[in-house]
Structure 1
């Protein structure tokens, strides 16, 4: 069952959606075992890279990509959010690619575009993605500091690191993970389908690629919020679909539980949440594709709403599935963990609402 009408729905985008969804249906993502970390879905990774060109959608044609817009990237993020496939897509194909483009550093783009290399943005410090919290520093070409929650950091071939210069300005640098003075520590997180790492720099050699770090990170926050909202939308829609299918076959007192009025009301509320999330997420993608002047407002709105909607939908999914919803064997717990982990990635809903207020009030 498929819900709702897509706001971004050119023929090319809908064909991309059908292609990615069919590929994921033929190659279901692996699921983590209770006592083991999830590995990357290598088969899906290569198929999306080689057959769909998904990793290079946002990369200009002259650098080995497809030259598409954020609307196409949004489609892939949404479909990956439906399945929770473990891929370096958000971290590499979206954030690292955007960071390099914003800095004008195009040399690494062909490798990221064909999926043969992974880029990671080492950004957050002390549990926040607020640029004002950055304390990592570069002096005489050497980087010192600690970065947290680095998506795909343990698999990265290139680290992109915002850090302060000796003058106190924020700039963006690249660092080789294998360079001396770099220590990468994989993290055990709530959502084991999203690998993260802590990266410590101790005098690591760094190359300046972008002097205007505040501009780059402001753009990157909007990109991150928009792409993550697409994942959250996809996960929400899939949870609602699973729940609708379940209440049609689960019986109590001789009738499907979906026929009970109280259950219908709860499902109707979830439908409103999902479709509202669809509207704001797609709107943010359009703003990003058009580089709209109110991009910050629309991206912050999408992230604040979609984060809370996904958490609410997954909680109800578990409740309406009854006893099976609490078991490891059912997928509901994976979506629940993704929802609550993603709700804090790139800042929680309250932080994005504060950014939204700042944009609206001109602060």
Structure 2
């Protein structure tokens, strides 16, 4: 039977990541950097990726990584979700790394890039739209040539800070230097300012072909599947913070000489939210475990997790804003960061509706035409 409880090693990893984020990721500073258009914290990323070693969790030891699994990566994402930390762990260490691991790791180009990502020396981003899901990767770059890809891909998450872009085309998967000639990255204004989006145009960009068309398509799907599955853990962490912060606030906030949290209507709302968060934890842990074990049920587990956790995160963030009253609506309070991250995450790697359709197909209940 699958054990979804956290192991001692996972608890230790959580404690270390949470301690670092508590010390180095002040929500007020995150909001200020986001407003200035520079949310990415290179110092925090170095501490997480290189010094703590979380960048290489999914990379085997023989390729320079930690040889851990999606379960450990999920724990890190729970903590990053709790802190709405502006670091590229999901896009680089989960999605891009999973794409590369699904390619030929015996290739010097693939192995070298995986080693760089695992060490934290470089980051990578998959050049697909942030809304692309495992069953719908969206439009690819217009063309692939022996020299590299051509075309434009919009709404690529963390493209502006990535060192390498993994570009799927009809001719295969290319690795392209983000700062190289023939690459133009145009930042877009996202709802979630802590995870920047950009349109990326390739025009005569020099690239290295990593995989042919068939292998590239399978690798991209595996990367997006891992991204969708572990995004549920980020949504879980976000929802947990919102619930805990709301309970804390309603215990301290008094009206009519009583804590507002003692009012029955608010008790019911928070109790309902607690039930949703507990259920989300089960769904997210199941998806992470299915990915970690390579289960045949992984696509179904991921679809269930995203179909459920996306809505829970949004609901938790909305309740956090509302039950904080007027202060929850202000820029100074971090509640708005969580609401925007939750809303943006709800369409990342496929909408909840798309994942419900995937669940239906998996059990033979196709949606009507």
| TM value normalised by structure 2 | 0.91
Change (3 A) 1:66 1:194: same
User: What is residue 115 of structure 1 aligned with on the other side?
Assistant: 120
Task: Give the structure 1 partner of residue 93 of structure 2.
Answer: 93
- RMSD value, Cα: 1.8
Q: After TM superposition, give the deviation of residue 157 of structure 1 in Å.
A: 1.3
- What is the SS of the residue equivalent to 1:31? helix
CA distance in 2, matches of 1:109, 1:133: 25
Within 2, Cα distance between the matches of 1:179 and 1:20?
34
Q: Structure 1 residue 58: deviation in Å? A: 0.8
Q: Distance in 2 between matches of 1:294 and 1:7?
A: 15
1:31 paired residue number: 30
Instruction: Tell me, yes or no, if the aligned pair for 2:149 and 2:167 is still in contact at 8 Å.
Output: no
Residues 1:183 and 2:180 aligned together: no
Identify which of 127, 138, 155 aligns with 1:149.
155
Q: Deviations over 1:272-314 (max 9, x none)?
A: 1111110000000000000000110000111111111100111
Q: Deviations over 1:163-189 (max 9, x none)?
A: 112xxxxx3221122333211112221
TM-score, normalized by length of structure 1? 0.92
Q: Give the corresponding residue for 2:297.
A: 294
Q: Secondary structure of the residue that 1:32 maps to in structure 2?
A: helix
2:111 aligns with 106
- Which residues of 2 match residues 1-363 of structure 1 at below 5 A? 7-29=4-26, 30-33=29-32, 35-104=35-104, 105-124=110-129, 128-129=132-133, 130-131=136-137, 133-134=139-140, 136-165=142-171, 171-211=172-212, 212-361=215-364
Q: Which runs of 4+ in 1 moved over 6 A?
A: none
**Following the alignment from structure 1 to structure 2, what is the Cα–Cα distance between the partners of residues 220 and 82?**
23
1:258 and 1:132 mapped to 2: Cα distance?
45
Q: Aligned pairs, how many? A: 352
Aligned-partner Cα distance in 1 for 2:297–2:158: 30
Please identify, of 270-279 and 351-360, the stretch whose mean Cα deviation from structure 2 is larger. Answer: 351-360
Compute the displacement of 1:113 (Å). 1.1
From the superposition, tell whether residues 37 and 66 of structure 1 become closer, same or farther in structure 2 (CA, over 3 Å). Answer: same
**Quick one: structure 1 residues 356 and 218, their matched pair in 2 at CA, closer, same or farther if it must change by over 3 Å?**
farther
SS in 2 for 1:24: helix
Q: Secondary structure at the match of 1:77?
A: helix
d(CA) in 1 for partners of 2:141, 2:66: 36
SS of the residue corresponding to residue 174 of structure 1 reads strand
SS of the residue 2:102 aligns to? helix
Q: Quote how far apart the aligned CAs of 1:362 are.
A: 9.0
Could you tell me which runs of 5 or more consecutive residues in structure 1 were left unpaired when the two chains were aligned.
Answer: 1-5, 166-170
Structure 2, unaligned stretches of length 5 or more?
A: 105-109
Residues 1:357 and 1:66: Cα distance change in structure 2 (over 3 Å): same
Are the equivalent residues in 2 in contact too, given 1:32–1:38 (CA < 8 A)? no
SS of 2:205 mapped into structure 1: strand
SS at match of 2:125: strand
Deviation at 1:52, TM superposition (A): 1.7
Residues 338-359 of structure 1: CA deviation (Å, up to 9, x unaligned): 0111111112111111122223
